[in-house]
Amino acid sequence: MSRQITIKDVKQIAIGAALLGSGGGGNPFIGELMAISAIKKHGPVTLLTPDEFPDDEIFVSASNIGAPAVSMEKFPNGNEFINAFEIFEQYYNKKIYGTFPIEAGGINSMMPLVAAAKMGLPIADADGMGRAFPELQMSTFVLAGHSVTPMVLSDERGNTSLLNTPDSFWAERIGRDFTVQVGATSSSASDPVTGKELRSAGVLNIISLSQNIGQLIQHTNDYVSVNSALTALLKLTHGYKLMTAKIVDISHTTSGGFNFGEIILSGLNENEGQTGKISFQNENIIMQLDEQILATVPDLITMVDMDTLQPITNEEVRYGKRIMVLGLPANEKWRTAAGISLVGPRYFKYDVDYIPIEQRYAEYQNQ
């Protein structure tokens, strides 16, 4: 049954989105305020369950592309998606039925809520990643053979650009150029799919999962202990606690617009004396404990505050912070040969095989 997303729901989804961001995806803060503003003004948004996606209607994803740090200062007008969706309607000569997040992790979890509230459209409970990833082609829709384009990029001044490209790499390349020209961030409407395609190629019920995660974290204090809240969180996400630690070092470098780096962790409690390392490229890619790999992409590696379970994005990582590293299994669609070649550790230039987190974790436990 469809339900209404209110401001209270937005806040919970934003927390879940930060967790699913796996360290990247941008802090949802600005997106959250945009969604709250839009819902305040236009009313709640209808969330459709997968069985309610009409087979033959068109859904278009709404997202922001570019530099999250720039959007903290210069954020959209709010009408960008209206312009972009109009172009889609002209292109297909058909009304766009609804929208959905291309990535449920980070700031882009919020953009479809903004678009949906502004245009009175429903939002579909599905995304194309089940987390956050840095590039356009890293979606389960591309994996299923769908095209990222037609894609419409737009800015606050009314500049729009309709792209039709032979593949997603070109969409990424031209899209980035447009974005740089209009100030390093732009609004994007992309990945048009029918309701039927969305149901078969998307990661389903991800917004609900995100909200359940957020709600649980918001109510950490209601549990007998942080540990029992954590147990519930791991049950909900089928995840593992990989390490309890203190952040002792962070190194950042940017190259080609990407934020690369390593976070060094010093073990606490049950991990006393051990050293952990998270390598990231915007999102967290590999987690090692005393040289042994415990998790790699596409499985999610995410840090949460030790006392509040609030997710910590890599922009907020700071020396001395006490955290727990969680590992969450990726959606099954990513665990295929094609999925691994698109978003596995080798794509990010690590000479490491993808082994599912549950196997790596069991191996570690058995030692």
- Kindly tell me which of 76 and 202 has the beta carbon lying closer to other proteins: 76
Nearest Cα residue to 115 out of 46, 199, 214? 46
Residue 116 as a binder of other proteins (CB under 8 A): the answer is no
Residue 261 identity (one-letter amino acid) = G
Residue with tokens 């737009």: 154
Residue 25 as a binder of other proteins (CB under 8 A): the answer is no
- Kindly tell me which of 27 and 331 has the beta carbon lying closer to other proteins: 27
Residue 38 as a binder of other proteins (CB under 8 A): the answer is yes
Q: E strands, 37-104, where?
A: 45-48, 58-66, 96-100
Contacting range for other proteins; rule: CB under 8 A; set: 13-21, 49-57, 73-81, 203-211: 73-81
What is the footprint of other proteins within residues 275-314 (CB under 8 A)? Answer: 282
Residue with tokens 């009304």: 95
Judge whether 152 and 49 are in contact, CB under 8 Å.
Answer: no
> What is the pattern of x (binds other proteins, CB under 8 A) and - over residues 141-160?
---------------xxx--
Residue 72 as a binder of other proteins (CB under 8 A): the answer is yes
- Kindly tell me which of 92 and 319 has the beta carbon lying closer to other proteins: 319
Alpha helices in the chain (DSSP H): 7-20, 29-42, 68-71, 80-92, 111-119, 140-143, 168-181, 195-201, 206-218, 226-237, 337-343, 357-366
Contacting range for other proteins; rule: CB under 8 A; set: 82-90, 256-264, 290-298, 323-331: 256-264
* Distance from the first to the final alpha carbon of the chain: 46
Q: Which residues bind other proteins (CB under 8 A)?
A: 30, 33-34, 36-38, 40, 65-70, 72-79, 114, 156-158, 180, 183-184, 246, 248, 252-254, 257-259, 266, 282, 316, 318-322
